[in-house]
Amino acid sequence: MPEEVLRLAEARHVGTRLRRREDARLVSGRAQHVGDLRLTGTVHASIVRSPLAHARIGSIDATAARGAPGVIGVYTAADLEGRVDPMVESAREDLSPRLAELVDLEVRSLPMPVLATDRVRWLGQPVAAVVATDPYLAEDAAALVEVDYDPLSAVASAEAALEPGALVLHPELPDNVHARLRVTAGDVDRALTEADHRLRERFELGRQVSNAIEPRGVLASVEGGVLTIRATNNKPHLVRTFVSRMLRIPADRVRFVSPDMGGSFGGGVFPEDVLIPFLAYDLGRPVRWLEDRRENLLATSHGRDQVHEVEIGFRDDGTVVALRDTFTMDVGAYNTYAVTVPYNTVTHLRSQYRIDHFSVDGLVVLTTKAPAVPVRGAGRPEATFVIERSMDLVARALGLDRAEVRRRNLIRPEEMPYDMGIPYRDTVPMRYEAADFPAQLEAALEAFDYEGWLEHQRVARSQGRRIGIGIAAFIEGSGHGPFEGAVVRIDESGHVTLLSGARPHGQGHETVLSQIVADQLGVRPDDVDIRAGDTALLAYGRGSFASRTAVMAGNAAAIAAARLREKVLRVAARVVGADPLELRIEDGCVRWPGHPDVEMDLRRVAAEAAPGPRSRVDAGEQPGLEETAYFVPPTATFASGTHLVAVEVDADTGGVRVLDYVTVDECGTVLNPTIVEGQVHGGVAHGLGNALLEEAVYDEDGQLLTTTYLDYLLPTSMDVPSVRVGHQAFPSDRNPLGVKGVGEGGAVAAPAAIVNAIEDAIWPSPVRITRIPVAPERIVDAISAVGGAATDRATQEDAAG
Amino acid sequence: MSAIEITLEVNGDPVVGSAEPRTTLADFLREVAGLTGTHLGCEHGVCGACTILLDGRSVRSCLVLAVQAAGRSVRTVEGLVGPGGELHPLQEAFSELHGLQCGFCTPGFLMTAVELLEERPSPDEREVREALAGNLCRCTGYVNIVNAVLLAADRMREP
């Protein structure tokens, strides 16, 4: 088959600040989240969770629960035996077996039971499910399920898990390592030996929870013989596949429908996503489970939890020549994502910088914590924290300006497409695209007024106030596939519909995808109906996560719509006797310039194309106006950005106040600037929370101490500044629309930028800020280490190599 | 637990329904009154998604029992929409300035802002930020929400 020459119509709606069509229902209380749906005969599930981090399960006595008012059933692992298979890694769908041929990589197999069998391995692990006529009664009865636990020692940190002789959490494995990887480029040993200077540092990123404001929920029912699942999950087709495989039901007898969804910020397929459909299947009636916030903090979307030991080699002029990193990721009791997150950490560790000698060893370590999944940024904030903190340390060591050190290390536009010398996670050699990182830095410095802030800082210091300035650049590999699908159809009433595999949860996809399709079909965005995330509508789909939807679903929609435009023109041309190239679609009508009498609306074209004896499609062509496209990108596209922030720290309380925040983002073609800015604002807020407030804290017994919003703090309107957002645009040549992802970038760079600013504010304290979230007492200690009062930095600059 | 029949006024209309003493007002509104615009984000009074107005004052409907609202007047997000379906100036401004993304927290923000603007028609940015500090949003970074409240305040003051 000859290669298709895809011609996209000119952008008319793409690039505009079209107001979101989602908003009308969301602001008026008419949205339909999973908890808002009502199905006749629905019963309610409550999950019995492990109160211990690690224990052997002796017996489970559900007698009292079964006899409690309203109870319909109680399920334990024994009831699932032979009927629900354990879960395997979701990432197996993504991970090419070829990657292990290209880099040193090992991922062990570790299926996870839906309900704990003989042992519980994390606090909050599902042990039993109670179904009752009312959610209050289900919770009452869940409290009556008596589980006889024989406590075992917790394995409460990666460090403890790796100690010689440590208790092995899973007897089927030789130790507590689930995956390991080693990725190298150049000759790091030699480059370190030959470098003028070397420094080492340890960086830690605490465990953090994604915290969508809508807790998870699942409503499952058997409708017309189809097990139908409505749930807060950003991967509809993956849930369908899991349920189909684990319950051994044909995939076409399982359907995932996507109601409105209140955020995600990370996630995966969780045991409840399979358990609740099983209960509905078994009971033959709708079963609803709505997670509460305590369960969410215990068992949903934990992430980060990495410790890095870094060694950097650099020259007298600040050029970094070598980077060696050894890190652990504490993944908790099971690892459902193989190496998705740690491999992202590897590929984003050198960020915008030319560091040709590079070596990373990563270990994914099993402990008695909740299983970690990708959380907004998914390994990128961790990498960015490590490299951007390191750049500051290099500058400090040499007494150089921190912006200047970055200038000397940035990959230059004439070096593009720069080859990073390692494979990306999709196995394709990791090469950047056209970009201008130095111009991005200068644009950010100028927008921020870097010189002005330096002066302001000097004046403030002389008045005893501690202001700090932070810089952080990032890259964001996005839209790396493997695919996304779209169907565009013009029905016989002339209506345009897009079916998309990617379900939205706040990103404005209904608006943006309608802009894309409208441009291709010559209609208004309002004329394009969007239906997303229903597995019955599209054979294959992936979902919305990893900053992928604009790239993946956007291009799939554009390609399908562009093909459909060509077909519309072919059919119309045949009807009016024109050459298709002479025709145009404008305002929903096909026109023939120079022939004012020719005007066919899409309804008429659809009627001419419909199957049947009057069909006017070309011989050999399928009738109907419908095109399907699966967009499979050649590899990831690389967005980037630079953040600058000014903070003031309080020497007495360790409090941090953000005074100003500037970003310059580069995400290729901007589909809707308002939505892009919103993504950046939200990402920065997320990163600020990660830097200063958020941590899931476990004690040495593996008890989680942060199970309410009084303990796990999210940033509020008093914490988050007004972010000033600037843009660069280098359209990607890796997809027809030229877009790059933007959903995570704010969260990727903000922790590094903010901590760099804090350390600048406490400078020249010998105390380093190497851990997030930053504890206020660390700041107080750092300042008291230099005598409390703000002093003149110039006199104490540490110029040691 | 025995249910009690209660009557309350919701968005100007009487609602009669039965509630157990432990039934929260949020659950009563969602399950009995059928008004699912009031959302539950934490069920322990921190996130603010379930904020409604009870006799004109903002409360967390997850922390109020339905029986405590008997005989009282409740306003929810559904009550902000005019009889002809027209949006309240706050709803309009939230949409216009992209003050929402996933929209789950939005009803709580709107009700908190309604109370603020009824008490203080010309708030400055600081006052808006303080008033909204008890509502959590994970999507927007708040800036567009704050701007939306300020814009709505401007428009509501216009004669």
Tens of pLDDT, residues A218-251: 999 999 999 999 999 999 999 999 999 999 999 9
pLDDT category of residue A5 using cuts at 50, 70 and 90: confident
A679, two tokens:
């993504």
pLDDT category of residue A188 using cuts at 50, 70 and 90: very high
- How many other CB atoms are there within 10 angstroms of residue B84's CB atom? 5
CB distance A327 to A307 below 8 Å: yes
- How many other CB atoms are there within 10 angstroms of residue A730's CB atom? 21
Chain A residues in contact with B107 by the CB 8 A cut-off are 29
Helix (H, G, I), strand (E, B) or coil at A760: helix
Rounded Cα distance between A83 and A62, Å, is 20
Mean pLDDT, chain A, integer: 94
State the Rg of chain A over Cα.
Answer: 28
Residue A501 pLDDT: 84
A354, two tokens:
């030319």
Residues 616-675 of A with CB under 8 A from B: 674-675
**Residue A85 — φ and ψ, nearest 5°?**
-75, 160
pLDDT(A546) > 80: no
Q: Which of B76, B87, B141 sits opposite A681 (nearest CB)?
A: B141
What is the residue whose two structure tokens read 């009889």? B83
Mean pLDDT (whole number) for A148-153: 98
Q: How many CB pairs under 8 A join A and B?
A: 175
Beta bridge partners of B13: B10
Chain A residues in contact with B137 by the CB 8 A cut-off are 213
- What is the DSSP-derived secondary structure letter of residue A334? -
pLDDT(A435) > 80: yes
Residue A574 pLDDT: 95
pTM for the full model? 0.96
Residue B107 pLDDT: 98
What is the enclosing helix (H) or strand (E) of A727? strand A723-728
Rounded Cα distance between B6 and B16, Å, is 6
Mean pLDDT (whole number) for A715-743: 95
Helix (H, G, I), strand (E, B) or coil at A409: helix
Mean pLDDT (whole number) for A762-770: 92
E strands in A63-172: 71-76, 104-107, 119-120, 126-132, 146-151
- How many other CB atoms are there within 10 angstroms of residue B92's CB atom? 17
pLDDT(A800) > 80: no
**Residue A326 — φ and ψ, nearest 5°?**
-125, 125
Q: Quick check: B130 contacting A, CB < 8 Å? A: yes
Long-range CB contacts (within 8 A, 24+) of A761-764: A761/A466, A761/A467, A761/A468, A761/A647, A761/A648, A761/A649, A762/A466, A762/A468, A762/A649, A762/A786, A763/A396, A763/A468, A763/A793, A764/A791, A764/A793, A764/A796, A764/A797, A764/A798
Q: Quick check: A167 contacting B, CB < 8 Å? A: no
**Residue A180 — φ and ψ, nearest 5°?**
-140, 150
Residues 63-122 of B with CB under 8 A from A: 76-78, 80-81, 87, 91, 94-96, 98, 100-107, 110
pLDDT(A398) > 90: yes
For A59-68, b/e burial (b = at least 16 CB within 10 A) is ebebeebeeb
Mean pLDDT (whole number) for A404-429: 97
Helices (H), B46-85: none
Higher pLDDT, A480 or A223: A223
Mean pLDDT (whole number) for A24-31: 97
State the Rg of chain B over Cα.
Answer: 16
Higher pLDDT, B7 or A92: B7
Rounded Cα distance between A713 and A697, Å, is 12
Pick from A463, A465, A357, A352: nearest CA to A418: A352
Mean pLDDT (whole number) for A388-395: 98
| Minimal-distance CA residue of chain A relative to B35 | A29
A75, two tokens:
């399920």
Rounded Cα distance between A581 and A567, Å, is 11
Instruction: Say which residues have a Cβ less than 8 Å from residue B82's Cβ, sequence separation at least 6.
Output: B88
pLDDT(A89) > 90: no
pLDDT(A386) > 70: yes
Q: At what angle do helices A380-398 and A340-348 cross, to 10 degrees?
A: 30
CB distance A798 to A764 below 8 Å: yes
Contact state of B133 with A716 under an 8 Å Cβ cutoff:
yes
Interface with chain A: mutation pick from B88, B101, B126, highest number of A CBs within 10 Å: B101
Rounded Cα distance between A171 and A70, Å, is 39
| Minimal-distance CA residue of chain A relative to B110 | A27
pLDDT(A329) > 70: yes
pLDDT(A795) > 50: no
B139, two tokens:
């999507």
Chain A residues in contact with B136 by the CB 8 A cut-off are 213, 709, 714, 716
Residue A798 pLDDT: 40
| Minimal-distance CA residue of chain A relative to B19 | A136
Q: Quick check: B145 contacting A, CB < 8 Å? A: yes
CB distance A441 to A410 below 8 Å: yes
Q: Quick check: A720 contacting B, CB < 8 Å? A: yes
A192, two tokens:
């370190």
CA quadruple A126, A129, A133, A138: dihedral sign = negative
- What is the DSSP-derived secondary structure letter of residue A701? T
What is the enclosing helix (H) or strand (E) of A646? strand A637-649
Beta bridge partners of A471: A644
Residue A699 pLDDT: 96
| Minimal-distance CA residue of chain A relative to B104 | A262
Residue A790 pLDDT: 52
CA quadruple A747, A748, A753, A759: dihedral sign = positive
A332, two tokens:
């908790």
Rounded Cα distance between A396 and A797, Å, is 8
Pick from A373, A281, A271, A387: nearest CA to A325: A387
Check if the interface score ipTM surpasses 0.95: yes
Q: Quick check: B4 contacting A, CB < 8 Å? A: no
Q: Quick check: B127 contacting A, CB < 8 Å? A: no
Mean pLDDT (whole number) for A634-659: 96
pLDDT category of residue B1 using cuts at 50, 70 and 90: low
Pick from A640, A647, A655, A639: nearest CA to A753: A647
Residue A94 pLDDT: 72
Higher pLDDT, A58 or B158: A58
Q: What is the bridge-based pairing of β-strands A723-728 and A119-120?
A: unpaired
Where does residue A746 rank: exposed (0-12), middle (13-18), buried (19+ CB within 10 A)?
A: buried
Q: How far is A752 from chain B (nearest CA, A)?
A: 18
pLDDT category of residue B2 using cuts at 50, 70 and 90: confident
Mean pLDDT (whole number) for A257-278: 94
Q: What is the bridge-based pairing of β-strands B4-10 and B73-75?
A: parallel
User: What are the DSSP calls for A502-571, one per residue?
Assistant: SPPSSS-HHHHHHHHHHHHHTS-GGGEEEEES-TTT-S----S-TT-HHHHHHHHHHHHHHHHHHHHHHH
pLDDT category of residue B156 using cuts at 50, 70 and 90: very high
Residue A793 pLDDT: 43
- What is the DSSP-derived secondary structure letter of residue A209? E
State pLDDT tens for residues A779-789: 999 998 886 55
State pLDDT tens for residues B10-59: 999 999 999 999 999 999 999 999 999 999 999 999 999 999 999 999 99
Rounded Cα distance between A482 and A434, Å, is 22
Interface with chain A: mutation pick from B102, B129, B142, highest number of A CBs within 10 Å: B102
Q: Which of B96, B104, B133 sits opposite A717 (nearest CB)?
A: B133
